[in-house]
Amino acid sequence: MSRCILAIDQGTTGTTALVIDEALAIRGRHTEEFAQIYPRPGWVEHDPEAIMASVSAAVRRAIAAADVAPEAIAGIGITNQRETTVLWDRATGAAIHNAIVWQCRRTAGACALLKEKGHELLFRSRTGLVLDPYFSGTKIAWLLDHVDGARGRAEAGELAFGTIDSFLVWRLTGGAAHVTDASNASRTLLMNLKSGDWDPELAAILEVPRAVLPEIRGCSEVYGTTQGFPGLPDGIPVAGMAGDQQAALFGQACYAVGEAKCTYGTGAFLLMNIGEKPIQSTNGLLTTVAWRVGDKTVYALEGSAFIAGAAVQWLRDGLGIIEQAADSEALAASVPDSGGVYFVPALTGLGAPYWRPEARGVIHGITRGTTAAHLARATLEGIAFQNRDILRAMEADLKKPLATLKVDGGAAANDLLMQFQADLLGVQLVRPALLETTALGAAFLAGLAVGVWPDLETVRATWKEDARFARTMAAEDVEQKVQGWHGAVTRA
């Protein structure tokens, strides 16, 4: 009987569960969406129970579609939206407030105050991160300060903090395990990159009690077994865990120093493997844990654009100019260019390399001749322009150009976007046969822990290429477009 891994990809707009066998055949798959909550402009929340319901439904339906016996599932791998923050009651497992999503900008003022107090260099040097509301630390503090009685209960050890990986493992194991992995921990503003553990001084500055923090573990080990989780039998090892972008880097088999990938999801995220020693960026990038397997920790440089696929969703849901996200490619391709229109998709601020949480979206260059097609094309191009800015910063930190970039995520299926991205970057884009590399990375990590795959070389050998994209646009045309983009960014 072929052994399978259940990969749970808990994302920003929904949860995908995949049942993957040893040969990387997807035996079953299901995605379950859930609602986004916007209490105020710039604020984004999720109902933690809606997340758990989506996980349960996705798991049940993926297993049913796979038509495999429960004993064929050798382990569970988890990947997740990373900085999204939950506080829950240890006794009941119930969250005390909606989850604060990674996109949420409510703590921009708190981050500005920390900068005014001179803390930015300390956080930068110890965590590899910038003081931005993107990360979990200030979100935890906000919950402790704004939910009645939360701070006292946290200090008394009654509450638990976790990013979605922690909350999911807690629920999967019936409350037996309060853990996170090194990749997710490195996104909190609380983990010291060098020690690999929580930093007491940073926690004190952010006023986060040690009692709420989970144990930091590796990315490929058994954290516990399932107990009482709807849709799953008891006793399945929960054996792999990584934040979504690190999982995608692992799933793209970027195991050598200098290998990089870009995931086009709700946001766009470029990560490059930089080996076993962290590099401090001087160009607005982040240094993060890529993964910890055994006693070996691998680091990455990361650049994040907060809005990518979410901009296409806005065309669909906010403006109603397309019926489904996939329609954006045909609409954009119906015109030869954007007609001079630039869309800066700073709908929740600008990430790397600008780090401007106060920025907002701009559509620049509209004329009487602008159509929905021009706007659709400008939206796709805006995603690509953001990634160019990030990659140029990455090359400056490494002091050498990148030769190829692996791409994945839903929007990587958009050939028009991929070609324009290759034109802007001037490097080859390589698209894998399996675009769901985030879930694949989680499956690989779990499979390594339970012996489904014996080693990284076996995993690497399974990776298969689908297509390549190379520059076709003249360099002077690229430069002209980039100048127009940078002019639009100054207005955001």
> Could you report the per-residue pLDDT of 136-187, keeping only the tens digit for each?
999 999 999 999 999 999 999 999 999 999 999 999 999 999 999 999 999 9
98: confidence class by pLDDT, cuts 50, 70, 90 = very high
Over pLDDT 70: what percentage of the chain? 100
CB 386 within 8 A of CB 310: no
| CA separation for the pair 353, 251 (Å, rounded) | 25
CB 130 within 8 A of CB 304: no
CB 488 within 8 A of CB 342: yes
Q: For residue 263, give both structure tokens.
A: 């995931």
Strand partners, 142: none
Task: Classify residue 95 by burial, with Cβ atoms within 10 Å: 0-12, 13-18, 19+.
Answer: buried
Q: For residue 338, give both structure tokens.
A: 């954007």
DSSP letter string, 79-93 = EE-SS-EEEEETTT-
CB 379 within 8 A of CB 341: no
Specify if 471 maps to a domain.
Answer: no
> Could you report the per-residue pLDDT of 104-122, keeping only the tens digit for each?
999 999 999 999 999 999 9
Specify if 431 maps to a domain.
Answer: no
Cα–Cα separations (whole angstroms), residue 457 to 235, 253, 255, 448 = 29, 9, 9, 11
What mean pLDDT value characterizes the chain? 92
Domain that holds residue 223: 4-245
CATH number, residue 67: 3.30.420.40
SS3 of 228, please? coil
Specify if 489 maps to a domain.
Answer: no
* pLDDT at res. 410: 83
Specify if 367 maps to a domain.
Answer: no
Specify if 266 maps to a domain.
Answer: no
* pLDDT at res. 227: 95
> Which residue matches tokens 């097609």?
373
| pLDDT of 470 above 70 | yes
Query: What total of structural domains would you count in the chain?
Result: 1
> Could you report the per-residue pLDDT of 31-69, keeping only the tens digit for each?
999 999 999 988 999 999 999 999 999 999 999 999 888
| CA separation for the pair 117, 120 (Å, rounded) | 8
Specify if 397 maps to a domain.
Answer: no
* pLDDT at res. 280: 87
SS3 of 482, please? helix
Q: Which amino acid is at 87?
A: L
| pLDDT of 1 above 70 | no
Nearest CA among 207, 195, 244 for reference residue 81: 244
| CA separation for the pair 296, 317 (Å, rounded) | 44
> Could you report the per-residue pLDDT of 338-358, keeping only the tens digit for each?
999 999 999 888 888 888 878
* pLDDT at res. 402: 83
Peptide bond into 39 cis (omega under 30): no
Peptide bond into 209 cis (omega under 30): no
Specify if 25 maps to a domain.
Answer: yes
DSSP letter string, 298-344 = EEEEEEEES-SHHHHHHIIIII-S-SSTTHHHHHHHTSSS-TT-EEE
Specify if 134 maps to a domain.
Answer: yes
Nearest CA among 27, 20, 23 for reference residue 4: 20
